[in-house]
Amino acid sequence: MVAYFVIALVFLTACSNGGSRATPDSAKTPVVDRQPATAVSSDSLTAGYGLPHPGRWDATREYTDSLFTIRYPSSAIVEEKPARDGEREVWVSELPTCRWPCYVTVRIRRDTSTASMDTAVREETTPDTINNPDAADDIASIRDTLPLGNARAVHLETYCGDCTSGELLTSHGSWLARIEYSLDDRDGYNQPLLSNLVAVARTFRWRE
């Protein structure tokens, strides 16, 4: 009888110790310390990031390159970017009334083919649906063919995702130029602002 009591006591003690074992860390529900979202203060807004850039569209300066000229609002910033793959690049930014990033850019590269502009227009307006079934959704379309000064030009409406954009293609001798403009969608579909960007792009002229 005593032996039976000792065995039962040992069994109960073992069960009690087994039930009190710690739960492995991997079985615990993780506790994530989430910080409360910080509201955006109007004090953090700056010109071009929520507030409009100052300046007027009718007060202009002229940027002069060895190949071309372009007029731009005198309050804007003009930057010559480092050449990439033989392509020269000039950016006009901080344009008046733009509350979010908007640009006019000029990209020029040498192209000795006899129909460089026609080839460029065809490439941008013809979708490659063989390699990309969705290519037709992003394809450019021709808006007009009004010249830039005495030079032939093609104005394309282009796709850029979260913005409204377009470009003018024109060539002179062995040079091909793309004059592009872009307006961030956070400015909304602002037709007056978009028209001003197009007007700046259309001041591009080849130097004779």
CATH of the domain at 121: 3.40.1000.10
Residue 2 lies in a domain: no
Query: Coil, strand, or helix at residue 84?
Result: strand
Of 4-18, 39-53, 130-144, 178-192, give the lowest mean pLDDT range. 4-18
pLDDT band at 207, cuts 50/70/90?
A: very high
50 SS3 class: strand
Phi, psi for residue 8 in degrees, rounded to 5 = -65, -40
CB atoms within 10 A of CB 133: 10
Please write the tens of the pLDDT for every residue from 23-82: 343 334 334 343 444 444 566 889 989 999 999 999 999 999 999 999 999 999 999 998
* CA pair distance 113, 122, nearest whole angstrom: 14
Specify the pLDDT at position 116: 84
Per DSSP, helices labelled H in the chain are: 2-19, 116-125, 191-201
Q: Measure the CA–CA gap between 70 and 92, rounded to whole angstroms.
A: 10
Q: 129: which residues sit within 8 A by CB, 6+ positions away?
A: 135, 136
Least confident interval from 83-92, 113-122, 199-208: 113-122
Rounded Cα distance between 28 and 70, Å, is 65
pLDDT of residue 39: 45
Running DSSP on this structure, what letter comes out for residue 78?
E
Answer yes or no: is 195 within a domain.
yes
Q: How far apart are CA 74 and CA 77, in angstroms?
A: 8
Residue 42 is predicted with a pLDDT of 61
The string of pLDDT tens digits covering residues 118-171 is: 999 998 898 776 776 666 667 899 999 999 999 999 999 998 878 899 999 999
Compute CA 1 distance to the chain's CA centroid, rounded to the nearest angstrom: 87
pLDDT for residue 37:
41
Residue 193 lies in a domain: yes
Q: 120 lies in which domain range? A: 44-206
Number of domains in the chain: 1
More confident residue, 15 or 141: 141
Structural domain contains residue 168:
yes
DSSP structural state of residue 140: -
pLDDT at 69: 98
Confidence band for 202, pLDDT divided at 50, 70 and 90: very high
Residue at 39 is within a domain: no
Distance between CA 14 and CA 199 in Å, rounded?
Answer: 87
Q: How far apart are the first and last CA of the chain?
A: 119
Structural domain includes residue 26: no
Residues 105 and 179: beta-carbon distance below 8 Å? yes
